[in-house]
Chain A
Amino acid sequence: MVPMTPNTPRGDVVSSPNLAIRFRSAVSLLGRFPALAGVDLDVARGEVLLVRGPNGAGKTTLLRACAGLVGISSGEADVLGHDLRADRRAVRRRVGLLGHAAFLYDDLTVADNLRFAARASGSSKAAADAASARLGLDGRLRHLTAAKLSAGQRRRVALAAVLARQPELWLLDEPHAGLDAAGRDLLDELVREAVAAGATVLLASHELERAAALATRSVVIAGGRIRDGLLGAAPPPATPTTPATPDPGKEPAHVA
């Protein structure tokens, strides 16, 4: 099963260049609602961390906070060495977020969407084309407008946009949702390749079996707080991980 790191007292782990993510009592408010209500979390570079939890627990907000898309109201939050409270824009070009939405312009073709996304993030047109080919978005599909794509195809385009950015930190929110079997296998393969190349992955998913096979460690978030695996980043694997076997029996009853 995916190792659950034991809880350790707050502050045991200090900021380190080996940490991709370091949160201490991080609070993020959506209006007046604390979507993150004091998160303590360390994620080592090269780690694949699975974030589990029920709907509304704060998984998506945690990922969006790591991407610099939602603010941190109090506490400490460092991502890839950038203090999110001081400058959350600095981290954005270094992360890739696969969220619930595909971030596509419906009237642009697949090729145009990917090229714009790549060039806007400082990547090249060639990187966009390579990512497109890797995700099987070549041929006729490249010239279709995004409005004509199926949900699974939109997901592939979104994944290709992440791949084209070549991010140091992959933030994957329900990444398998909407993909067919081949697409899911390809996603897993891309994540393993990215980790082998030194990237860090934060993965929120309800598809525990698949996600656990990718992850090197997991934590549970509920009520905007990390409940298990509080601190203590696990060392990154030297090689791509051997898929761990999930243990559904250990899953908290409230997790969907």
Chain B
Amino acid sequence: MWRDAALVAGKDLRVEARSRVGVNQVVPFALLVLVLFAFALDSDREVLAKVGPGLFWVAVLFAALLGIQRSFVIEADDDARDALRLSGLDGAGIFLGKAGAVAVQLVVLEVVLAVGVVVLYDIHLRSPVLLLLTCVAATVGLAAAGTVYGIIAAGLRVRDTLLPLLVLPVLAPVLLAAARACDAALAGAPSDGWPWVRLLAVFATVYVTFGVVAFGALLEES
């Protein structure tokens, strides 16, 4: 399973590195979201600092949708999904590989966006451990849930429009919990943030487990 996961993740990351869709389209899109929200809300830095964590995770969420869609578009082109099925790769391995590749891309995106938030919104970090764990748990949850719903939508002709409808409501708890935990980390009140991190960890565990168990069957039906 781990060998298959590494193989699939390596392939997906190589495709992204060569196509440069992430660098040329997804990252600029996420930065634009940050800037546009800043324009729309207020140019007052106090307001921006207050809503910064929420805006950060909204931008991550939208960009994650693009990344998840992209992860399955490359399998739909030229029927490569059939080749995946023919390969006999373990379904759990494929899931972990695809979710892992999405997670790696999200981490890169989060680092870039974090710099953007600090510069644009004048935010200062007070509890780095809480922030780091929040990002890890939220990223794993986003990637795992997104990959599960990505394969559900993959076989449908309306997949491009259906995926956001399926995923956004499911990921709402991640958005809420990650924003609250980040808020606590930035305000220097980590005790307020830990319950939200626990919620993120439960969410990530549930979707990673579900994906490992069900992805093979979902791939068969897609």
Contacts and interface: CB of A to CB of B under 8 A. Distances in A.
Interface of A: 67-69, 89, 92-93, 95, 97, 99-108, 112, 116-117, 119-122, 145-146, 161
A5 to B, nearest CB: 29
B78 A116 contact: no
Contact of A93 (B79, B80, B88): B88
B87 A120 contact: yes
Interface in B1-49: 4, 7, 11, 14-15, 18-19
Nearest to B79: A101
A143 to B, nearest CB: 12
Contact of B86 (A67, A102, A105, A119): A67
30 contacts: A67-B86, A69-B82, A69-B85, A93-B87, A93-B88, A95-B86, A97-B82, A100-B79, A101-B82, A102-B78, A103-B79, A103-B80, A103-B82, A103-B83, A104-B78, A104-B80, A105-B11, A105-B74, A105-B78, A107-B15, A107-B74, A108-B11, A108-B14, A112-B11, A117-B83, A120-B7, A121-B86, A121-B87, A121-B88, A122-B88
Nearest to B85: A69
Nearest to B86: A92
Top 7 A-B residue pairs of the complex, sorted by shortest distance between their CB atoms: A103-B83, A101-B79, A120-B87, A93-B88, A107-B19, A107-B18, A92-B88
Contacts of A108: 11, 14-15, 18
A99 B83 CA distance: 10
B187 to A, nearest CB: 43
Contacts of A101: 78-79, 82
A120 B89 contact: yes
B176 interface: no
Contacts, number: 68
Nearest to A89: B88
Contacts of B83: 103, 117, 120, 161
A112 B14 contact: yes
Interface of B: 4, 7, 11, 14-15, 18-19, 74, 77-80, 82-89
Main secondary structure of the interface of A (DSSP, over half): loop
Contacts of A107: 15, 18-19, 74
Contacts of A117: 83, 87
Given A69-B85, A93-B88, A107-B74, A99 B79 contact: yes
Given A92-B85, A97-B86, A121-B86, A116 B11 contact: yes
Nearest to B11: A116
A92 B18 contact: no
A122 B86 CA distance: 11
A92 B87 contact: yes
A142 to B, nearest CB: 15
Contacts of A67: 86
